[in-house]
Amino acid sequence: MAPSAEAKRLENLESGRAKPKEEVLSEASTFVSTNGGDPSDQFLVLAHCKLQFGKYQGQRFRWLLENSLGYAVYLVLSISTETAQATPLSQNKQLFLQYTSQIREMAEEVEKYQRKQEMQAEARATGDQGCLMVEFGDFQGRSMKDVYEDQSKEAQALIRYLIKADARPKTNMAIFKTYVLKRRASAVVTSVRQPAPHAATSSASATTAPPPAPIQTGVQKTATVKALLARGKNLSPSQLAKKLTSPVKPYPLLQSTLPPPAAEPPAKHLTPIQLFATGKSVPTAEDDDEELVFAASQCEAQLNTELCHVMPQAGCFLECTSSKPGLCCSISISGNCQGTSSFTSPATS
């Protein structure tokens, strides 16, 4: 749509008042007849009418479309907004509009030009150069952004060509090349700033705090038999048995953190805990060390297994009573235990 070299040479060569419509049509008809044309062909006569306005005044309508299509499109859009008047200038403009309206390609160019104007307005409003129209090649009429993001072989071949092309400044190709180079540079910067997947994973794992340690609750376990035996090597069997069956102290953490117990009926549901299996005799002070250790191990196993199911509250104590010195035959739960119950181990012979 750029003007030809001849159009540039003939710009503003003629000026003056517009000639009447009849004179313009008569001169065109004579020109057609002289050159072997049919003067009765109205379209052919209109094609050879001379412009009576603008920078190409004195040139024929057909010549204008062949040498400066962009200017012709501009005139069509401009004249379409004007009101026809009975003046030589207005009548000449209406003749030009009548001629161009019969050319299908001209209508397409006018529509393309209108769309180009809309895309330029969008580019100015958004500041995005990609909204501009491509005006050359097989992709003319589409936006620069649309062509750049087109993954077809033809579109990507055009992009590669533009990167190396030596485009003339201020042309549509030069503008498109500038847009392509900016998009490529932006893509490189984005890929450099984006962290590697393994680095992001390592950072996330490094910043993840370890889960808090669970608060330990429950009955304080009695010392193991081996530990007690190690500390009580110099004790007599009866003293060692008494050490093993001493009352369990309340757990300090429970005393400081547990809320006061709710009022409930006495724990009638509690059942006796057997500290010694049925059929086994209760060891006496005269039993040897091996039998004493065996009995103490049974006592500890029963305590660890049975008493862990009963959660004592703060201030709840276990008391061991025995019918024989140094042996635990029954345990009483007392204190702030929502009642008191006794667990008895039957002494069998």
Domain-terminating residue out of 102, 136, 167: 102
What are the pLDDT digits (tens) for 260-280? 555 555 544 444 545 444 544
Please check whether residues 19 and 80 belong to one and the same domain.
yes
Residue 21 domain-assigned? yes
Beta bridge partners of 281: 348
Mean pLDDT along residues 176-187: 92
Domain-terminating residue out of 60, 86, 102: 102
- Is the model's pLDDT at 243 over the cut of 90? no
Between 69-80 and 104-126, two packed helices, what is the crossing angle to 10 degrees? 80
Tokens of 295: 């009995």
Mean pLDDT along residues 62-88: 94
Mean pLDDT along residues 49-77: 94
Domain count across the chain = 3
Residue 117 domain-assigned? no
Top-confidence residue, 277 or 81: 81
* Contact yes or no for 144/176 (Cβ under 8 A): yes
**Distance between CA atoms of 172 and 134, rounded to whole angstroms?**
7
Mean pLDDT along residues 131-140: 92
Mean pLDDT taken over the chain: 74
Top-confidence residue, 304 or 144: 144
pLDDT of res. 327? 46
Supply the pTM of this predicted model.
Answer: 0.48
Question: Residue 188's Cα: distance from chain center in Å?
Answer: 20
Q: If DSSP codes are grouped into helix, strand and coil, which group holds residue 115?
A: helix
Tokens of 207: 């910043």
**Distance between CA atoms of 285 and 237, rounded to whole angstroms?**
6
Residue 122 domain-assigned? no
Domain-terminating residue out of 190, 210, 238: 190
Please check whether residues 232 and 332 belong to one and the same domain.
yes
Q: If DSSP codes are grouped into helix, strand and coil, which group holds residue 101?
A: coil
Helices (H), 128-171: 144-148, 153-164
Q: Which residues form the domain of 26? A: 5-102
Please check whether residues 167 and 261 belong to one and the same domain.
no
Residue 198 domain-assigned? no
- Is the model's pLDDT at 207 over the cut of 70? no
**Distance between CA atoms of 77 and 75, rounded to whole angstroms?**
6
- Cβ-defined contacts of 331-336 (< 8 Å, 24+): 331/273, 331/275, 333/267, 333/270, 336/261
pLDDT of res. 188? 82
Residue 218 domain-assigned? no
- Is the model's pLDDT at 79 over the cut of 90? yes
Residue 107 domain-assigned? no
Please check whether residues 330 and 234 belong to one and the same domain.
yes
Q: If DSSP codes are grouped into helix, strand and coil, which group holds residue 319?
A: strand
292: pLDDT confidence band, cut at 50, 70 and 90? low
Distances (CA, A) of 246 to 236, 296, 299, 303: 16, 12, 12, 12
Residue 111 domain-assigned? no
